[in-house]
Homo-oligomer: A and B are copies of this chain.
Amino acid sequence: MVHRLIVQYGQPTDPAAFDRHYREVHVGLAQAIPGLQRFTIGHPRSMDPSTPAPYLVAELDFESADALAKGMGSEAGAAAGADVATFATGGASMASYDVDDVSPAG
């Protein structure tokens, strides 16, 4: 069972500063969240120019919705959450879901 938090950041006013802060500060803060099992990031490119992609997508996997809530409610979770406001000049949306694995067999 995997419960995934997906964070999507809008285009920042200063992408280089955003990337620097994200790498040098935010990744470490997020890595410290208790219960975090997997953490991936990427800069998506839209496959349809009429719908712009978010600037950065981050996915944080936990064992369950409970584990996510506990992690976000911890001191480390609060610190990572508070940090977002310091660099997410293009906004950030957060949503979470139970991951249903429908990978092809073999």
Contacts and interface: CB of A to CB of B under 8 A. Distances in A.
Please give the count of copies of this chain that the complex contains: 2
Given A6-B57, A57-B6, A44 B95 contact: yes
Contact of A94 (B4, B37, B39, B46): B46
Main secondary structure, interface of A, reads strand
Contacts of A37: 103
Contact of A44 (B32, B48, B54, B97): B97
Contact of A103 (B39, B45, B48, B95): B39
A96 to B, nearest CB: 6
Interface of A: 4-6, 27, 31-32, 36-48, 51, 53-54, 57, 93-104
